[in-house]
Amino acid sequence: MEWAKDIYVFDGPAVPFFGLPYTTRMTIVRLANGKLWVHSPIELTDMLIRKVMPLGEVAYLIAPNKLHHLFIGRWQARWPDAQAFAAPGVAAKCAHLHFDADLSDTAPPQWRAEIENCIVKGSKVMQEAVFFHKASRTLILTDLIENFAPEHFSAWQRPLARITGILAPNGKTPLDWRLSFMGGKAQARMAINQFRRWQPEHIILAHGHCIRSNALPFIERSFSWVGEPRPAAKPERARG
């Protein structure tokens, strides 16, 4: 599906995670030079190959966190000249995969003119690389916000999803991941402030309903759990 000019979104099959069916979604950006930037590659099939090939040359494969690397190897086998980039911690977890570089708060020169990125830090278990496509003003997230339609889950799964905080229209970071930011919320706020500076208008989510408009109010609600920066303490007046 064409999301915007030179941005394409592909949905893959659901995979089980903590007893819940998680849909998979991949985002492809066609850069100005015709090369394809592939975020969170989904399961590769012959049909998907036929859809991707006309778009351009698969050049960059992105593993945005430690849970979204499952199909990187198959894409590398099909496009061996593609460079692979990983969020911090992914390469150490996946010694069987080759990554050309770790992502940081500075976008690599290969796509810096068109896509910016930052790393959401502060969690004891996982960091996520987040991307901003400048031309379309689209924020690309993976697991930091999940926004499933209630009907996606069965009757017994729905209460669990609600407790976890991943039901639309009020999806947010899943509860278990939020808890892992204890002691690290100040670092997370730095990334959220970067989102605000980018001023996105849309959000592509890997799981659940994407946000087609009013992205900033949705971000504020979804990340309200990080809290606000404490005001600076006023200097005490000299006595005497």
User: Using one digit for the tens of pLDDT, what is the confidence trace for 177-193?
Assistant: 999 999 999 999 999 99
Question: At residue 1, what is the residue type?
Answer: M
pLDDT of residue 154: 83
Residues 19-33: what's their mean pLDDT? 88
Buried b (16+ CB within 10 A) or exposed e, 9-21: bbebeeeeeeebe
- Cα separation, 240 vs 230, in Å, equals 30
Task: Evaluate if residue 233 carries a pLDDT over 80.
Answer: no
Please give the domain boundaries of the chain with CATH numbers for all domains.
2-223 (3.60.15.10)
Q: Is the pLDDT of residue 234 over 50?
A: no
CA gyration radius for the chain?
19
d(CA 142, CA 67): 9
pLDDT score, position 152: 85
**How is residue 119 written in tokens?**
């790393």
Taking Cα atoms as reference points, which of 18, 100, 116, 19 lies closest to residue 60? 100
Over residues 191-226, the pLDDT tens digits come to: 999 999 999 999 999 989 999 999 999 999 999 999
For residue 16, the model assigns a pLDDT of 63
Assign 18 a pLDDT band (cuts: 50, 70, 90): low
pTM (predicted TM-score): 0.90
Q: Give the model confidence (pLDDT) of 89-144 as tens digits.
A: 999 898 899 999 999 999 999 999 999 999 999 998 899 999 999 999 999 999 99
Task: Write the pLDDT tens digit of every residue in 35-69.
Answer: 999 999 999 999 999 999 999 999 999 999 988 88
